[in-house]
Structure 1
Amino acid sequence: MATTADESPVPEQEVRNEKTVEMLYKALTGGETEMVAGLLASDLEWWFHGPPKSQHMMRVLTGVSVQSEFRFEPRSITAIDDRVIVEGWEGAQAYWVHVWTIKAGLITQFREYFNTWLTVRDLRPPVWEVGHESLTLWQSEPREHVNRSLPGLLLAI
């Protein structure tokens, strides 16, 4: 079983989900459309937050544009339960966060946030464990955009 920096075990399902999303980005970079199609549910649910002209990933996934028009180079990939959060930034003007939901090895939902700070919070009933101090599971870290004013959103799990 994998471990994080603090040596707590990472559930095997989260590791598999993370690898699925890593395969997706690799297939996109390599132009492997059959591989991409095999990782996505045919009824993929999609949600976008940002300016309409910045719906880059959805245009790539639907074949409207090619990967080379906008580079998706993940800077961080984090699995939380059935979701995988991918963060990246391309220069000073583009910061993006992708949230993929995976069920039975297939990507069923995609959320794309463009130039938006994102905080992921656990709103399930609390588990009263020692050391369970925060409900924040993940937070944006757009290093190149620290001094920019970006809208913020909360994603509840």
Structure 2
Amino acid sequence: MSTPHVIVVMGVAGTGKTTIGPLVAAELGIPYAEGDDFHPPANIAKMSAGTPLDDNDRGPWLDAIGAWAHERAGKGGVVSSSALKRAYRDRLRAAAPGVVLLHLTGDRALIEERMAERKGHFMPTALLDSQFATLEPLGSDETGVAVDVSGTPQEIAERAVAALRRLEPAT
């Protein structure tokens, strides 16, 4: 992308937001922020116990991510956030109107397999069903791209960057 956008890497748990986000940021030469770092301790405790977050839990987290995105407006950045519901993405856009969404998508079986292989992450595989149930795919009026997560992290990141660059108007 030629102009510095703030990109929100979104998708259900296990799609590789934390892996792909930094690769995309490095390729675009902009900083990366890990969305999980914006969660208050109560959210992490709740998810670690296998309890899905509700909208009240997500509000402060989304506001913190939105504030980071707002601060990066015009400078660019990549931040991960599940951003599963349209309302969550609207909240992020209210804070930072120019955000671009990178929706990592994939086969449920592949995502579950990858989640099972993770070590030390607070999000248990048991919450994957609630993630898919909550997911609202990108609307046609939302600025963003969907990228399949099959393949290596580098392949996924390359597809993501190519798709993001296609969003740019020809000059």
TM-score (normalised: structure 2): 0.23
Q: Between Structure 1 and Structure 2, whose CA radius of gyration is higher?
A: 1
Question: Which of the pair is proportionally richer in strand?
Answer: 1
TM-score (normalised: structure 1): 0.25
The higher-RCO structure (CA 8 Å, 6+ apart) is 2
